[in-house]
Amino acid sequence: MNSVFSNKGTIAVFVLPTLILFCGIVLIPIFVSSYYSLLDWNGVGRGTFIGLDNYVEMFKDTRVLNSIKNSLLFAGASVFIQLPISLVLALILASNVKGEGFYRTVYFIPVLISTVVIAQLWSKIYNADYGLLNVLLQSIGLSSLAQDWLGQKDTALAASFIPTLWQYVGYHMLLMYAGAKSVSQDVLEAARMDGASRLRTAWSIMIPLMKPILKVSLVFSVIGAFKVFDLIYVLTGGGPFYTTEVPSTLMYATIFDTFRYGYGSAISVFIIVECLVCTILINSLFKTE
> pLDDT tens for residues 118-174?
999 999 999 988 889 999 999 998 888 889 999 998 999 999 999 989 999 999 999
Among 102, 75, 84, 58, CA closest to 262 = 58
Long-range contacts of 118-124 (CB under 8 A, 24+ apart): 118/163, 118/166, 118/167, 118/231, 119/163, 119/230, 119/231, 119/233, 119/234, 119/235, 120/234, 121/163, 122/162, 122/163, 122/235, 123/150, 123/234, 123/235
Choose among 121, 115, 93: nearest CA to 167: 115
User: Which of the four pLDDT bands, split at 50, 70 and 90, describes residue 3?
Assistant: low
Q: Would the pLDDT of 86 be above 90?
A: yes
- Give me the chain's average pLDDT, please: 90
Residue 179 pLDDT exceeds 50: yes
Measured in degrees and rounded to the nearest 5, phi and psi for residue 77 equal -65, -40
d(CA 100, CA 89): 11
> Could you tell me if residue 89 is left (phi over 0), alpha (psi between -120 and 50 degrees) or otherwise beta?
alpha
Quick one: pLDDT at residue 255?
92
Of 1-15, 16-30, 115-129, 258-272, minimum mean pLDDT range: 1-15
Q: How far is CA 266 from CA 153, 249, 261, in A?
A: 27, 13, 9
Write down the pLDDT at residue 126.
94
Q: Whole-angstrom Cα distance, residue 284 to residue 162? A: 29
Residue 97 pLDDT class (50, 70, 90 cuts): confident
pLDDT range class, residue 1, cuts 50, 70, 90: low
The DSSP secondary structure of 101-114, one letter per residue, reads HHHHHHHHHHHHS-
Backbone angles phi, psi at 195, to 5 degrees: 90, 10
- pLDDT band, residue 205 (cuts 50/70/90): confident
Please answer whether residues 172 and 221 qualify as being in contact, where contact means their C-beta atoms are separated by less than 8 angstroms: yes
Q: Which domains does the chain have, with CATH numbers?
A: 58-285 (1.10.3720.10)
Collect all residues with Cβ–Cβ distance below 8 Å to 219 and sequence separation of at least 6: 278, 279, 282, 283
**pLDDT surpasses 80 at 42:** yes
Comparing 192 with 84, which gets the higher pLDDT?
Answer: 84
Give residue 264's pLDDT.
94
pLDDT at 228 over 60: yes
pLDDT of residue 75: 94
Q: Are strands 48-49 and 39-40 parallel, antiparallel or unpaired?
A: antiparallel
pLDDT at 98 over 90: no
Buried b (16+ CB within 10 A) or exposed e, 109-121: ebbeeebeebbeb
> If we measure between CA atoms, which residue out of 65, 227, 236 comes closest to residue 158?
236
Alpha-carbon distance 120 to 131, whole Å?
12
For range 216-231, the mean pLDDT: 93
Q: How confident is the model at residue 203 (pLDDT cuts 50, 70, 90)?
A: confident
Indicate if the pLDDT at residue 265 is higher than 70. Answer: yes
d(CA 249, CA 255): 10
Query: What phi and psi, each to the nearest 5 degrees, are found at residue 40?
Result: -100, 100
> What pLDDT sits at residue 289?
46
In the chain, the percentage of residues whose pLDDT exceeds 70 is 97
Distance CA 203, CA 88 (A): 11
What local confidence, expressed as pLDDT, does residue 4 receive?
Answer: 57
